[in-house]
Structures are given as C-alpha cells and as structure tokens.
Amino acid sequence: MNANANEVVITGVGCITPLGLSLEALSAALREGRSGFGEIASFDASAYPCRFGAEVLDLELADFIESSKTYIDRTSAFALAACASALRDAHWTGDESVGLLLGTAWGCMDSLQLFAQKLVEGKPKFVSPLPFTHSYANAPNSLASIEFKLRGFNACLTSGHVSGLAAVEYACRRVALGKEKRLLAGGSESLSEPIFHGYCQRGVLSSTREPRPYDPASIGMLLGEGAAVVAVEEAESARQWNTPVLARVLGWASCLGESVADGLARSMRDAMARGGLGPGELDAIVGFGCGSPALDAAEIEAIRAVFGEARPALTSVKGWLGEAMGAGGAISLAAALACLEDRFVPAALPTYGPLPDGVRLVAGEPLDGAAGTLLVNAADPSGACTSLLLASA
Amino acid sequence: MSPPRLVITGLGAIAPNGNSVAEFWAGLCAGRDAVGPITHFDASPFRNANGGEVRGFAFAEPEASRAKQYALAAIEQAIGDAHLEGEALRSAGIVLATNFGGCEHGQKLLTAQSRGETPDPRWLAEFDFQAGVGAAVRRWGLRGPAATLSLSCASGVAAIGYAVDLIREGRCERAIAGGYDELALMSYSGLSALRAITPEIIRPFDKNRQGTIFSEGAGIVLVEALDAARARGAAIHAEILGHAMNNDAFHMTAPDTSGKGITAVMQGALDDAGVKPEEVQHVNAHGTGTPYNDKIETAAIKAVFNAHARRLAITANKSMIGHTCGAAGTLESIATLKTLQTGIVPPTIHYETPDPECDLDYVPNEARTCDVRVALCNAYGIGGTNAAIVLARWEGR
C-alpha cells in the first residue's frame, strides 16, 4: 500500500430512507427506535408469503432538484434526491469537476417492467424508448450527472448488496491514488415486485413485520429501499475550501473468501490494517445484520475472529430499515455518520431474548456517547464483502 | 513510491467473427463482415433483422444465460493464454461489466410476473448483473477483489480501468477484466426503438451511414502489475498506460454535439497515461456508424489531437462485428493490443463515400501495416457514459 496516499474525508451526506429524507431525520428515528416497516404499498403483496417492507413513500423530488421530470424511475429519484442533498451539504453545488460513483443491485426494474409490457403483449415493435433508457443500471448516474452537471470521473457498480458501499470504496481509492479531489458516491435501490417475488422464492424473507438482526431465533430478513450518497473528498482539498469534515475514512476493502465469514474477516482486517488500527481501537461496528440466519451468523463469526475479546459495540440499522440491497451498505454508512455527528450508537432492536455470544450487541436502548472509530460492513449473499473504516473528524 | 506499471498478459474473445482471439483478429484483419440474420429471436418486426451473433459456440449449460457463458469461455481463454494457475490465479481480482446481464432470462422473469405466473427462481439468478462474476468465482475459486460494473456501452473499457485502479492501489497483483452481453429480444427492441439501428449495412464514418448493428460476445484481458508478471515469467502482450471514465452530463439519449464529454475522456486517458497526443499513432474508435456518433467522435479526436489527428490511423471494428454492447470496449481493446503487437491496423469496411464532417484517415476497406507504439481505444454509451484507455507496445523493458 502506498504510504503517501492522499487522505480521504467525507464532507457531505444525503440520505433518502423509509425513516426520513435527511440524515437528521434518520438519526432522530434511530435514536428513538422507530421502525420503517409497513405493509407494502407500492405494489400488491397480499398474495406473497411476506407482505412487509420498508418503503420510501413520501419523496417529492421537486423538493430536491430544479428540473421537472415527466418520467423518473424510483431508483433514479432516490439517487437524485440523495445526490442533491450531499452536494448541498458539502457546498459543492456548481462544481462541474465533481465525479460520481453509484451502486445498485438491480437497477431500475420498474422501468424495465414497464418497458417489457409491450413484449408481453407480443408487440415488440411498439415498445417505448423512454422507459428503456431509464431502465439502464447506469440511468441514476446519468440522470444525476445531467441534473448537477457532474463531469468528473463516473461509473456504476452492480455488485449486488455491496454495490453502494463498494462505490464509496472505489471513490476512496480514486482519491487516495491522487486521481480525484471530489466525488459523490453511494447507492440507490427501489423495492420492485419482480425482485421481491424472487427473494420470496428464495425463502430468505421473514413473514413477520419485524426482522431480527443477530437474533439467534431470527427467521429471515425484510427488504427496504432508498439511497445514501456521501461527498468523498481529498483531505487537503477540504482544508483549502474550509469544508467541514463529517468523518475521516481511514480504511476500506472489498474481499471474497471461502465463505461470507472468511471474506468479511479479510475485508475488516484489510480496512483496519490500512487505517493502522488494532482490534482494541475500534469503538463500534455498523454491521449488515439483516435477520438472515446465515448472513448474520457469518458476520458474528467474522467479528469474533477479527476482534476477539476487544468486542467493539455492534449494531445494524436493518432491523429498522430492512435490507435495501444495493443501497444497504451506503445507508449503513449514513447511519455511521449519524453516530459520529450525534454521538450515539443506535440499538439493533428494542428487545432481544438470548443475545448472540461473543459480540457486544447494542440492544434495547441506544448507546450514548461518542464512538470515535466505526467500521461499516456490507455483504452480498454471493460472498462478496466490503468494509469501510471511519474516524471522527 | 511510484505506481506500478501495468501490463496485459492474457486475452480471451468470444465474438461474432470467431470464438478465439486468433479467429477474432484474423477476421478483423481480413476485413470480413460477420453480421448475419438474427436467429436467437424473431427480429423480422424490426428495422433490421441482422446482427452480430456468436456462432458455433458450445453452450455447456442450456438453461443458463448465453451472456454468462460467453464471459466464462473468454475468461477460460485468458487464464490459459496467461498460463495462470494456483495461488496466482486464486488471488486474482475479477471485474466484469455488462449492459443487460442475462437479458433473455430477465424478459422471461418479467413476462411471468406480468402474467401472474410463477417465474422459475433460476431466471432471477441468471438475469443478475453479478451472475458472471459469481460463476467465475465459483469455477476458479477466486479470492481476490471482485466487482461488477454496468456502464452501458462504455462497460468494456470501464472494467479494465477499474482493474487498473485495483492494482495501482495494491489490492491485488493481477485482475481478470472485461465485458460481455448477449443479443436478446428485450434489449434489441429497446435499442431499435431508439432508432440507432441502420436499415442496411453498418458503415462507420461513411457519408451515407444510417446507424449501427447490434451484436453480442465477450472480451477478457488479464491485467497484471509488471513486476508480478515478470516474477512468474509471464509473456507480456502490451502495456496499459492510463484510462479515464466520465459522463457527458448532457442528455439521456440525445448526443452532445459539442463533444465535450468524449473530448475530456480522451484527454483524461492521455493525461492519466502521461502521453502527449503526438505520441499516439492509432485510435480504435467507438465508431458505431450512427450519423451523430461518428461526426462528434471525429470532431473530438481533432479537438484532442489538433493537426496530429490527420496522421492517426483510425479504425472502427464495429464495421465488421457490429456493436457488442458491454463486450465492445474490451474486444476493441484486444484489437488495439493486437495492432500494437503486429503493426496491422484492421480496416473500417463498407466505407464508400467520404463525409466532409468525417475527414480523417479511417483505414478504409483494407488493413494496413503501420508503426504503432501507442494507441487509444474509445467506448461510449447510452446515458452519456464514456471511457477511454491508452495502451502501448511492449518493448521488452
């Protein structure tokens, strides 16, 4: 690793979640322990074995952007609103050199479904070009680039559930390599029926209204949606512009392993090593625990292997917000920024029966007080894992 | 600490003109038109029923996506070409890119959903953008960094660029990188609705060009840190000097006639490479054959290279194999690399009538031998995505 790599900081954040349309709203909801789940409203889920999800139902895009949209996919709308907030928060509005890296697991499925309707009707010649162009996985990137005139580095990651956090990781890499000064990075995802149906078929969704991250008795996850985008900046550039720093990014890594536990242990170790932190120096982990018995057990196994008796506080926001797939890791990152900003660590759930062994899970009440160093984890069921290490400014 | 030098040590190609790099390259040099009637679906309702299909490919899994199987076959070739095995293979990163993933399976899924039928659970898995990386990781037991990108038709160059940055940062010593896509009804009908498809043959840079032809395939390269390649005695095909990716920030489908985005991406790649425009001899153009692209790309090349633009040998591989979407940037990077290795610039075929707005040297109709030391390869896509990469001939030091 290049010892002289440029330092990376986060100077802005935008987040659109079922618990509000700003970091402040998310932070307040997590502190209060408010749930974002309800019966799914954006499509009829009554015939499915799972009927619940955490949806963003109150977004008025016109509150965030200047242009008016005759058509917009939900994945793109979430991304545009989150980008607008992050740009404002970082005072980057009008800077055309800003780059953009967004991640999404499934892209713009509602648009693809709308587009494909003519094919279902056997009229391939009469498909509409509008939903087709809006169905590309890079459509959120492109629309945000157009809206905010972002002419810098630009890419779209579609690496499953790690996509959003992996986009932030790539932004950190580009800044550390000295290739960029300023990048927006994050993830966006919408809860669409074909994907929901597929997850139902995989048998990974809980039939209850409350997924139970890290609970040994958990029976499955629930899906969520939304977007989170952060402003990733070279530390020196932030100093020059007097931009307030929300967090320093000390380390990052994406790894595959023999298993999710192995891959995550490696990505956490790599991120900690890059940041020069020992196991006893980490205050808290915002994990990917979502209520999936297999994934949650893998994360606990990896944390025990890496941190042993050091036992940093462990939480996850997916008991409140669900698994937002490609946006999930980026939303966890936004929650970690809320922890730094508002000096608390949210509880993973209000009540638990037996707690998992070998980790210090934040259960019941939030943990008050500053967490100076935080690790954010994301994992895809395929085994890809990403970790990002943050420290207070 | 200076950043590591990067080289390409393995190649794999599944293309409409052949299912190996040797056939792909021979077809390009011969100026052979590989476009033919589309057989994967009924293309008769569309403006053009021809496309560049992969032919004679042995599908090992009839139920799996064609796109994924093309990618796996190209990866297998690249690994073999690089003589990569054991820990050097297991620790390699993998970066694949695709526009549409397993598009045909996506259509089956959406059709079933719309009709209230129960989709086969495998369809979602095959449609998944990650299906290619997932299958490769399982087949070769890969344990390095893994990523999937989807950057419309800039994907194939973007994947190589991502791999370059992984190795520059020291995340891995080598990475398998490339793009893939399949020709399927769902994507083809959308591309057709955008009116990008020619009603006749594809003739990039010709005055009478009317559009592009869509195709399928996979291209894979093995990107490796020079020191790591030397340490294992690998044969080096070419050096990667730099890359760039950006967005026009203009419109979802309408071309930015100012060419600002593609000018910036070419300049960005040259800057990243530390190369002056005058040091480049060859450009493997995006050259889609659409009226706008070729005109704007020509103007952008002139903006970047100034008077030197007239000395460049420019070619459009799409004139022979069509537009392979996510694979295009990688297949054309492979062609660029072969030009650096052999000095042969494949022709732009079907070039008949010069266009005053496309007045550079497009190596019309016949391959040419030139002294090419540094070359640029362009890839652009829907939504204003742009990527460019600079490659150099390997001189043995």
Q: Which pLDDT tens digit goes with each residue over A305-345?
A: 999 999 999 999 999 999 999 999 999 999 999 999 999 99
pLDDT of residue A206: 95
Tokens representing B204? 């990039």
Is A142 within 8 Å of B1 when comparing Cβ atoms?
Answer: no
The per-residue DSSP string of B348-397 comes to B-S--S-BTTB-S---BSS-EE---SEEEEEEEETTTEEEEEEEEE----
Q: Which of residues 86-115 of B touch A (CB under 8 A)?
A: 99, 101, 106-107, 109-111, 113-115
pTM over 0.95: yes
Determine the Cα–Cα distance for residues A103 and B133; give it in Å rounded to an integer. 16
Determine the Cα–Cα distance for residues B85 and B87; give it in Å rounded to an integer. 7
Over residues A16-20, the mean pLDDT reads 98
Determine the Cα–Cα distance for residues B266 and B271; give it in Å rounded to an integer. 9
Is B129 within 8 Å of A137 when comparing Cβ atoms?
Answer: yes
Is A254 within 8 Å of B113 when comparing Cβ atoms?
Answer: no
Rg (CA), chain A: 20
Beta-carbon pairs below 8 A across chains A and B: 217
Backbone angles phi, psi at B109, to 5 degrees: -60, -50
Nearest CA in chain A to B256: A146
Which position has the higher pLDDT, A14 or B396? Answer: A14
Is B186 within 8 Å of A107 when comparing Cβ atoms?
Answer: no
Is A135 an interface residue toward B (CB < 8 Å)? Answer: yes
Is residue B288 within 8 A of residue B381, CB to CB? The reply is: no
Strand order in the sheet with A52-54: A37-39, A52-54, A223-224
Which residue in the set A127, A195, A202 is minimally distant from B189, CB to CB?
Answer: A127
Q: Which of residues 227-256 of A touch B (CB under 8 A)?
A: 253-256
B286 is catalytic: yes
A1 falls in which pLDDT band (50, 70, 90)?
Answer: very low
For residue B259, the chain A residues in CB contact (below 8 A) are: none
For B370, other C-beta atoms within 10 Å of its C-beta total 14
pLDDT of residue B2: 77
- Given the residues B243, B323, B358, B377, select the one marked as catalytic: B323
B172 is catalytic: no
For residue B186, the chain A residues in CB contact (below 8 A) are: 112, 115-116, 119
Q: Which of A96, A143, A158 is the best residue to mutate to test the B interface, defined by the most B CB atoms within 10 Å of its own CB? A: A158
> Please, what is the average pLDDT of chain A?
95
Q: Which pLDDT tens digit goes with each residue over A279-303?
A: 999 999 999 999 999 999 999 999 9
Is A173 within 8 Å of B3 when comparing Cβ atoms?
Answer: no
B385-393 and B238-247 beta bridge pairing: antiparallel
Contacts with B231 (C-beta within 8 Å, 6 or more apart), sequence order = none
Determine the Cα–Cα distance for residues A129 and A127; give it in Å rounded to an integer. 7
pLDDT of residue A22: 98
Which residue in the set A146, A151, A258 is minimally distant from B246, CB to CB?
Answer: A151
Is B137 an interface residue toward A (CB < 8 Å)? Answer: yes
Is residue B327 within 8 A of residue B379, CB to CB? The reply is: no
Q: In the beta sheet, which residues pair with residue A227?
A: A16, A188
Is A21 an interface residue toward B (CB < 8 Å)? Answer: no
Q: Which of residues 209-248 of B touch A (CB under 8 A)?
A: 244-248
Query: Along the 397 residues of chain B, how does pLDDT read in single tens digits?
Result: 678 999 999 999 999 999 999 999 999 999 999 999 999 999 999 999 999 999 999 999 999 999 999 999 999 999 999 999 999 999 999 999 999 999 999 999 999 999 999 999 999 999 999 999 999 999 999 999 999 999 999 999 999 999 999 999 999 999 999 999 999 999 999 999 999 999 999 999 999 999 999 999 999 999 999 999 999 999 999 999 999 999 999 999 888 999 999 999 999 999 999 999 999 999 999 999 999 999 999 999 999 999 999 999 999 999 999 999 999 999 999 999 999 999 999 999 999 999 999 999 999 999 999 999 999 999 999 999 999 999 999 998 8
Is A260 an interface residue toward B (CB < 8 Å)? Answer: no
B323 is catalytic: yes
What percentage of chain A has pLDDT greater than the value 70? Answer: 99
For residue A257, the chain B residues in CB contact (below 8 A) are: 143
pLDDT of residue A2: 47
Distance (Å) of CA B345 to CA A176, B26, B30:
37, 12, 11
At position B370, the amino acid (one-letter code) is: C
Determine the Cα–Cα distance for residues B302 and B311; give it in Å rounded to an integer. 11
Contacts with A243 (C-beta within 8 Å, 6 or more apart), sequence order = A11, A12, A90, A91, A233, A237
For residue A100, the chain B residues in CB contact (below 8 A) are: 247
Is residue A218 within 8 A of residue A206, CB to CB? The reply is: yes
Tokens representing B165? 């940055």
% helix, strand, coil for chain B, step of 5: 40, 25, 40
Is A149 an interface residue toward B (CB < 8 Å)? Answer: yes
Tell whether the torsion through CA atoms of A215, A216, A217 and A221 is positive or negative: positive
Determine the Cα–Cα distance for residues B247 and A184; give it in Å rounded to an integer. 13
Nearest CA in chain A to B119: A198
For residue A195, the chain B residues in CB contact (below 8 A) are: 124
A51 falls in which pLDDT band (50, 70, 90)?
Answer: very high
pLDDT of residue A4: 56
Is A145 within 8 Å of B121 when comparing Cβ atoms?
Answer: no
Which residue in the set B119, B249, B386 is minimally distant from A146, CB to CB?
Answer: B249
pLDDT of residue B3: 83
How distant is the Cα of B308 from the closest Cα of chain A, in angstroms? 26
Is B252 within 8 Å of A133 when comparing Cβ atoms?
Answer: yes
